């Protein structure tokens, strides 16, 4: 059983407010998992009963729409927590969490987190701020979905992916999404997504190297979006 004190999640998440004794307690009751690319951490409707700390790997939070398509609501990266909203609302998960890469996560039971939550004011304030940020992000995202066309949303998403998850040595996007997943992020049909990628490729905005994507002119892309 490893310590929580040096963990990346502690440094970047609400957990940074926890003291030494709290970290020790947490280290004792936590469960560590490795999750393979494509596997779920939890599914929409599932009772999670705790929060997950993302130590390594990126996952998608998505929701199945009535039309059978999976809409990706958010991507979550190492250092972040999952399941905070469900814990506070005391509700089943509203979204599914599925690994986009091999992941390392820790699970901390609800009972434990709620203790920190009521006893440690700074911690609860941090959690709340995170949820507020999510709310702001969701509102903004919604406006984009409603008001921008697919090309604009694609351009915006590509820039977001590069800025958030960085580039490989060959300047391609480090985060690897299938065309279907990319379509699920921008909210369109897979074919439309592929077609627009081709178009951006031909007009020199991006370069397609196999399944990898390189942004050639971020400023031009920004003007598109």
Partner DNA sequence: CTCAAAATATGATAATTGTCATACATTTTT
Partner DNA sequence: AAAAATGTATGACAATTATCATATTTTGAG
Residue whose pair of structure tokens reads 């991507």 in the numeric block: 75
DSSP 105: E
Which one of DNA, a second copy, none is in contact with 94 (Cβ closer than 5 to 8 A by kind)? a second copy
Binding site for a second copy (CB under 8 A): 63, 65-67, 69, 71, 73, 85, 88-89, 91, 94-95, 118, 121, 124-125, 128-129, 131-136, 138-148, 186-187
Q: How far is the CB of 33 from DNA (least distance, A)?
A: 21
Residue in 3, 129, 136, 211 binding DNA, rule: CB under 7 A: 211
Q: How far is the CB of 104 from DNA (least distance, A)?
A: 20
Residue 192 lies near DNA (rule: CB under 7 A): yes
Of 6-14, 88-96, 186-194, 217-225, the segment contacting DNA by CB under 7 A is 186-194
Residue 179 lies near DNA (rule: CB under 7 A): yes
Which one of DNA, a second copy, none is in contact with 118 (Cβ closer than 5 to 8 A by kind)? a second copy
Q: Which residue, 4 or 72, is less far from a second copy as judged by CB?
A: 72
Residues 199-206: contacts with CB under 8 Å, at least 24 apart: 199/151, 200/154, 200/155, 205/155, 206/158
Element containing residue 73 per DSSP (H, E): strand 70-76
Give the helix ranges, DSSP H, for the chain: 8-12, 20-29, 84-89, 110-119, 121-147, 150-165, 179-186, 190-202, 218-224
Tell me how far apart the alpha carbons of residues 176 and 62 are, in angstroms, rounded to a whole number.
16
Size of the site for DNA (CB under 7 A): 20
DSSP 57: S
């Amino acid at each position: 059983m490893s310590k929580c004190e040096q963990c990346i999640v502690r440094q970047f998440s609400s957990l940074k407010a926890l003291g030494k004794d709290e970290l020790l307690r947490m280290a004792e009751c936590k469960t560590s998992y490795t999750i393979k690319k494509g596997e779920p951490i939890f599914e929409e409707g599932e009772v999670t009963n705790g929060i997950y700390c993302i130590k390594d790997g990126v996952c998608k939070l998505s929701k199945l729409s009535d039309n059978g398509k999976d809409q990706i609501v958010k991507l979550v990266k190492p250092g972040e927590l999952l399941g905070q909203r469900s814990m506070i609302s005391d509700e089943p998960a509203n979204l599914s969490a599925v690994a986009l890469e091999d992941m390392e996560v820790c699970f901390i039971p609800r009972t434990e987190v709620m203790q920190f939550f009521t006893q440690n004011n700074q911690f609860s304030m941090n959690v709340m701020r995170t949820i507020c940020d999510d709310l702001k992000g969701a509102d903004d995202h919604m406006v984009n979905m409603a008001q921008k066309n697919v090309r604009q949303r694609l351009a915006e998403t590509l820039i977001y992916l590069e800025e958030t998850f960085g580039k490989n040595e060959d300047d391609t996007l480090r985060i690897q999404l299938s065309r279907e997943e990319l379509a699920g992020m921008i909210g369109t049909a897979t074919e439309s997504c592929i077609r627009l990628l081709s178009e951006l490729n031909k007009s020199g905005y991006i370069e397609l190297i196999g399944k990898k994507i390189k942004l050639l002119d971020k400023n031009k892309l920004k003007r598109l979006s």
